[in-house]
Structure 1
């Protein structure tokens, strides 16, 4: 038995299988007996539709064969006999075809019977060819008998298949009548052969006559042996008559070589064949009268036995089902309780625990209630399952508490790291303001950038542990500034290129999350592409919000991996601490789900990967003023060159240099003086509220420090560039 079957099914099978076997045996016996008995009731249809017409067709063919024998012999007694008999044969053949092919008759015939009937029709179709040979006198006496006999033989081969009697005696009587009919056919062949020879038989004709007579003499006693007294007496009376004895003596003499006058032979054979045919027809009617009552009797007997057997089987099934139903019901109740725990209660408990709700274990796992008088083993099993389900729910509660504790510990550590990194950024800002050495300032800038990335990773840990970003902005921040700020938090910021985009902003409450989301995508694009290729960031307004494309030109992702990431981004699962692969995508999926953002990865035309971020319309707002705020100028971001830009690759565009405010320079190449927040976006100049308490009146925020270093490095580039153009040397 398959292991996947239910307990109820197995118990029911154990009880019902013997009964089903008994029912099957009873049904087979009843259907076989009833089917054969019902076949007996079809005898009348088969008899009237096929047998009567087939037997009469044999009789008329015998008459046509006798008339054809006269034509071949040249001794025609009645010129109209041949055409008359042929018309009768055609009429009988049509009746056989019309009645045998009706829907009623075909329904009563078995496939074997239908095949035999088709064989008869196929043989009858040769009759026109035989008649043509007779008319042209191309047939010998033996050939004439052979051609017509082929039709009679096919009909006699059909008769056994039409025997539907299930009773041994009835079947024996049917076989006897068929054999008696064949005897008549053999006797008629002898008559036709002698008439066709016209007293001048050939040696072949004599041999055929001897074979036919021997077969008839052998078959007649066997046919009589199969018939009962009522059917046998008419044949015995005929065979003991004077006419029969005279006919037999004449045949014996003819076979021995004594000549016989055809007219004398006809005078003896015709009356015997006529009487013999009448006996066959009368016995056929008697046999048919016996078949229908026998069928009804068998049906009655089979019905009584079937009803009694059915009652016994039904009673056995009733008792077996009643005994097994109680056990099945008890086990089904236990099964329902187990499924309820596994599919409803335990997942509900886990959901409540994840939502921070309290759980009453006693209320969540009520004991299983069994009916009175339950089977002792099943009752013990129910008690054991009560203990198991209580332990399972209690373990789920403890596991949830443990996970919550781990998350709180991770958030606490991440918050502490954020605080330390914030203090470190403040110290770096002070050191940058106090340092004039370019080399030292460059190193401080690198440390500042590393610290900013460390702060982002700490913020990612807070997000993964269920917290939220600590930074906040007020008002509306331009989208381009958000993307520039995200690019500034990437290690290989120099490869990131933010292209100009429409004037629109993002609500300050979502700026920190969006900046973190884009930073993760940009860093992933930079990490998996060649160091010589840029990471392009483009954005535009679309019908359902603001679409941003982050495109790299790396090796790309396999289709299976990209599909898996897209599924994770579309419906991010709950973060598991054991899953350390692709933490960036986990953070992106969590932030996207929080703000209703859609993130999709697709292949890039350059062979890499393009991340498409659709920010919903609810987060996109118009800028307070029509004039766009100055961009956040950072070494991590470059802008698209206009046609008039003639700077070399890797340098800032000319329009940045010409619009960049700076002090007067001497003829030699000099470093420009830093101007605080000269290129920082006006919105980003405002420090987040969370950082207000850590800033002094003279201090700078990390964003201001990065803007200052950006301005400083831009000044370095301009100074070196102007020095090269003026012919000076670079210091």
Structure 2
């Protein structure tokens, strides 16, 4: 049985319950041992009056009926006295049966006495049959003596079982009185044998020897019984045997023993007189002794019961005191240990997290107040409490130091991130100027690629800002179309050429959430491209749903296991604290932070047949109608950047040659079929837009327009047309702005690139990032 995990209260109870149970069992055992003999002593009166007196009356009547039956068998006629005696015997038997069948006698009788009573009743049931044999003279004198002596012997066996008192002296006296009764029964047997022989005028065969044995046994039992009597009773018995009747009877017995034949001049009248006197004297002596014995047993039983009550009460008081002391000590120990446990739990589950949260909010924390002293005495528990006081203070101080260190670490990260943001923003502005001056497609393609890398660097710098607990600072004043938000996110992904924009329902995103939604989508699209095979596509689609706008990003990767998916969704629903040890899941953490900032709900679910679907539900509070094209100049930089990406995808990427026989435009993997229908439509006879032609050497090929447009366009031709449309639109706007003397790429409200915060000269000549609460400026 493993008890290590038992509660302390259960362990203390187990320690106490064993000794207390043992003590209680001993108390019950001792009480039972003492209470039983006391009840036996009290039952002595019941045994005497319900069995002793009725049984002795039956024995007396049976002895008289036995003598008359033997006399009748010895003579030649029926005796009227025998009939009368049988009636008296039956009356005594009826009274005995009533007592034996009653509940009082059976309740106090033990198992042995119950058996002896059943034997006595069975012997009495055989008496009518014996009487019939005697009346029919089918039995001789010896048989008649044996019949009645057997019934009387059953009665004395019951008397012997009754004499089993717990007190040794009382038990010896009861045994002695029973032996005297047996001696008197032998005296009656001798009288019945002699009466039959006198009536018949001679002994039957074996009667003299039986008479001699009976007389000798009677004397022997009397001597043994007298030896166990108390001194007073023994003295009384000695005086009784010195009487004239006893002396006369003994002399007659001696004469019968000496003469093998019946004396011719035997004085039967003297025998009858002496026998009656002795028999009655012995009977009276026995009855007086039994009454005295019963009377003496009551005070003795009362004394035992009083002692038992005193011992029982004292034992019960001792048990109750032990239980109370055990409960009090156990409760005290349990309460003190529970107090230590509660203090430890409070520190671990409430105080330390509360201290850490307050420290992260910038509040001051008093270590002494947050770790109060525990005073639980001077024993081992008190020493444990004092040791825990030190542990608690150390834990609080360690929490303070850890939060202070983390705050400093976040400030360092934020400072480096802001500096990186400033440098990236300056780099993007420089790249934009270089792109405007460059006409060579190869150089322009290289600049576009560097521009794309810088955009990704900007996103990673914003990741650091988010990890540090600050806002990235990128925002728009006016709503931006959902399709432009998706394109802006695609433009910040490395494998943008594997992303397909599917069906996008018209909608607009409020400017204050555009930057964070773009960043959130970029992280999810980046994950989709990173965790799916290089040859598969990533689909992005948007649709309006009750409660907001859903953007779904579907990849064809291996997917995630159910536990990993549940864990990821839990972290997305409840953003955890940033743990530097979990650097492999920074994107998930950034997405959770950005989603929690605007109430956006992100959920990952399995895709069919394989892969993951990332569903981004933008709440309706952030969704508005789709703005018209050109309604917000701040969205123009994102459109220009998407145009760069689109044009870049029409060219072979460095280090990846185009397949033979395949048009370069087949590298385009940002299909614009889901773009808004309100965008400029190509003419029916062809796109009619100029297309930049790659120059070979120093001689550039002239620009050429498509002269003939087939009636049915292939998907690749439609893709090229749309790419050319977007690039031409951007170039036309730029040329128109130059003719007007302004550059739309540098609006008066802020710097040029998407989400680029305004910068000023920082310390040591580095740009200092704009405050997060500035409006963007794109």
Confirm or deny a common fold (TM above 0.5).
yes
Q: 2:724 aligns with which of 674, 680, 686?
A: 674
1:293 and 2:295 matched: no
Preserved contact between residue 556 and residue 611 of structure 2 (Cα < 8 Å): yes
1:420-431 correspondence to structure 2 within 5 Å:
420-426=423-429
Aligned to 1:356: 362
Match of 2:168 in 1: 172
2:477 corresponds to which residue? 474
Q: Is it true that 1:279 corresponds to 2:279 in the alignment? A: no
What is the aligned counterpart of 1:92 among 94, 99, 113?
99
Quick one: distance in 1 between partners of 2:348 and 2:409?
Answer: 26
Judge conservation of contact 1:67–1:81 (CA < 8 Å) in 2: no
Distance 1:87 1:80 in 2: 11
Instruction: Kindly indicate whether the alpha-carbon contact (under 8 Å) linking 1:548 and 1:613 is maintained by their aligned counterparts in 2.
Output: yes
> How far apart, in 2, do the equivalents of 1:333 and 1:429 lie?
68
Quick one: distance in 1 between partners of 2:481 and 2:425?
A: 24
Look up the match of 1:511: 514
8 Å CA contact 1:68–1:82 kept in 2: the answer is yes
Change (3 A) 1:351 1:44: farther
Deviation at 1:284, TM superposition (A): 2.4
Mapped partners of 1:404, 1:413: distance in 2: 14
Contact 1:41 1:296 in 2 (8 A): no
Does the alignment pair 1:403 with 2:403?
A: no
Q: Matches of residues 234-253 of structure 1 in structure 2 within 5 Å?
A: none
Query: Would the alpha carbon gap of residues 178 and 128 (structure 1) be closer, same or farther in structure 2, given more than 3 Å must change?
Result: closer
Distance 2:186 2:366 in 1: 109
Are 2:501 and 2:674, in contact at CA under 8 Å, matched by a contact in 1? no
Q: Matches of 2:728 and 2:224 in 1, distance apart?
A: 135
* Partner Cα separation in structure 2 for residue 154 and residue 516 of structure 1: 109
Change in Cα spacing, 1:395 to 1:25, as seen in structure 2 (3 Å) is closer
Tell me if the contact between 1:490 and 1:522 (Cα under 8 Å) persists in the aligned partners: yes
Q: Contact (CA 8 Å) 1:40, 1:295: kept in 2 or not?
A: no
What CA deviation, in whole Å up to 9, does each residue of 1:417-467 have, x standing for no partner?
333334444555566666777777666665555444443332222111111
Q: Please say if residues 601 and 616 of structure 2, whose CA atoms lie closer than 8 Å, have aligned partners that are also in contact.
A: yes
**Secondary structure of 2:577's aligned partner:** coil
Aligned-residue offset at 1:4: 12
Comparing 506-515 with 458-467, greater Cα deviation is found at 506-515
Name the residue aligned to 1:110.
none
Match of 2:269 in 1: none
- Match of 2:289, SS state, is helix
Q: CA deviation at 1:510?
A: 2.9
Matching residue within 696, 707, 719 for 2:746: 696
Q: Does the 8 Å CA contact 2:180/2:225 hold for their aligned counterparts?
A: no
Give the distance between the partners of 1:349 and 1:463, measured in 2 at CA: 23
Distance 2:728 2:242 in 1: 145
Distance 1:54 1:129 in 2: 16
Cα pair distance change 1:494/1:339, threshold 3 Å: closer
Q: Distance in 2 between matches of 1:473 and 1:674?
A: 28
For 1:146-200, what per-residue CA distance to the aligned partner results, in whole angstroms no more than 9, with x for missing partners? 999999989988986x84xxxxxxx323543665587589889999999999999
Is the contact between residue 475 and residue 515 of structure 2 (CA under 8 Å) also seen in structure 1? yes
Return the alpha-carbon distance in structure 2 between the equivalents of residues 613 and 143 of structure 1.
114
1:575 to 568, 573, 578: 578
Aligned to 1:415, which of 412, 418, 429?
A: 418
**Distance in 1 of aligned mates of 2:584 and 2:103:** 87
Unpaired segments ≥5 residues, structure 2: 74-81, 131-142, 198-202, 263-271, 647-665, 689-705, 711-715, 731-742, 757-778
Q: Equivalences for 1:287-686 in 2 at 5 Å?
A: 287-296=297-306, 349-359=355-365, 397-426=400-429, 448-477=451-480, 482=485, 485-486=488-489, 489-493=492-496, 500=503, 506-531=509-534, 554-597=557-600, 599=602, 606=609, 619-623=621-625, 661-662=681-682, 663-664=687-688, 665=706, 666=708, 672=721, 674-676=724-726
Q: Over aligned residue pairs, what C-alpha RMSD do you find?
A: 7.6
Q: 1:537 to 1:28 in 2, by over 3 A?
A: same
Is the Cα contact below 8 Å between 2:176 and 2:226 reproduced in 1? Answer: yes
**DSSP-derived class of the 2:583 partner:** coil
3-state SS of the aligned residue for 2:725?
A: coil
Gap regions ≥5 residues in structure 1: 7-11, 106-115, 164-170, 637-646, 681-692, 705-731
Aligned length: 611
Distance 1:424 1:133, change over 3 A: farther
Residue 570 of structure 1: CA displacement?
A: 4.5
Q: 1:24-52 deviations in whole A, cap 9, x for unaligned? A: 99999999988877778766876678897
Q: How many Å apart are 1:287 and its aligned residue? A: 1.0
Separation of aligned partners in 2, 1:65 and 1:476: 130
Q: Could you tell me how far 1:292 is from its partner in structure 2?
A: 1.0
User: Which secondary structure does the structure 2 equivalent of 1:466 belong to?
Assistant: coil
What TM-score does the superposition give when structure 2 sets the normalisation length?
A: 0.53
Summarize the Cα distance change of 1:82–1:382 in structure 2 as closer, same or farther, 3 Å threshold: closer
Cα distance change on mapping 1:132 and 1:296 into 2, 3 Å: closer
Q: Distance in 1 between matches of 2:433 and 2:222?
A: 133
Contact residue 106 and residue 114 of structure 2 kept, 8 A: no
CA distance in 2 between counterparts of 1:438 and 1:68 reads 153
2-side partners of 1:299 and 1:567: how far apart? 71
Kindly tell me: are residues 272 and 365 of structure 1, through their superposed partners in 2, closer, same or farther at Cα, counting changes over 3 Å? closer
CA distance in 2, matches of 1:550, 1:147: 112
**Is the contact made by 1:184 and 1:277 (CA closer than 8 Å) also made in structure 2?**
no
**Alpha-carbon distance in structure 2 between the residues aligned to 1:64 and 1:461:** 122
Aligned-partner Cα distance in 2 for 1:487–1:568: 24
Range that drifts further, 498-507 or 582-591:
498-507
CA contact 1:50–1:96 (8 Å) conserved in 2: no
CA distance in 2, matches of 1:33, 1:349: 63
Alpha-carbon separation, structure 1, partners of 2:433 and 2:421: 18
Question: Any conservation in 2 of the 1:142–1:193 contact (CA below 8 Å)?
Answer: no
Question: Kindly tell me: are residues 454 and 280 of structure 1, through their superposed partners in 2, closer, same or farther at Cα, counting changes over 3 Å?
Answer: farther
User: How far apart are residue 283 of structure 1 and its match?
Assistant: 0.7
Q: Is the 8 A contact 2:50 2:105 kept in 1?
A: no
**Counterpart residue number, 1:721:** none
Measured in 2, the distance between the counterparts of 1:219 and 1:27 equals: 49
Map of 1:727 onto structure 2: none
Q: CA deviation at 1:410?
A: 0.8
After superposition, the Cα gap between the structure-2 partners of 1:54 and 1:418, relative to the gap in structure 1 and judged at 3 Å, is farther
Q: Secondary structure at the match of 2:580?
A: coil
Larger radius of gyration: 2
In 1: Cα distance, 2:442 partner to 2:114 partner: 115
CA contact (8 A) 1:191 1:269 kept: yes
Decide whether aligned partners of structure 1 residues 417 and 66 sit closer, same or farther in structure 2, where only a CA change above 3 A counts.
farther
Distance apart, 1:530 and its partner CA:
4.6
Shift in alpha-carbon separation, 1:695–1:544, aligned structure 2, 3 A: closer
**Separation in structure 1 between the aligned mates of residue 222 and residue 572 of structure 2, nearest angstrom:** 94
CA distance in 2, matches of 1:60, 1:428: 139
Distance 2:628 2:186 in 1: 126
The structure-2 alpha-carbon separation of the partners of 1:387 and 1:290, relative to structure 1 and needing over 3 Å to count, comes to: closer
SS of residue matched to 2:474 = coil
Cα deviation, residue 355, structure 1? 0.8
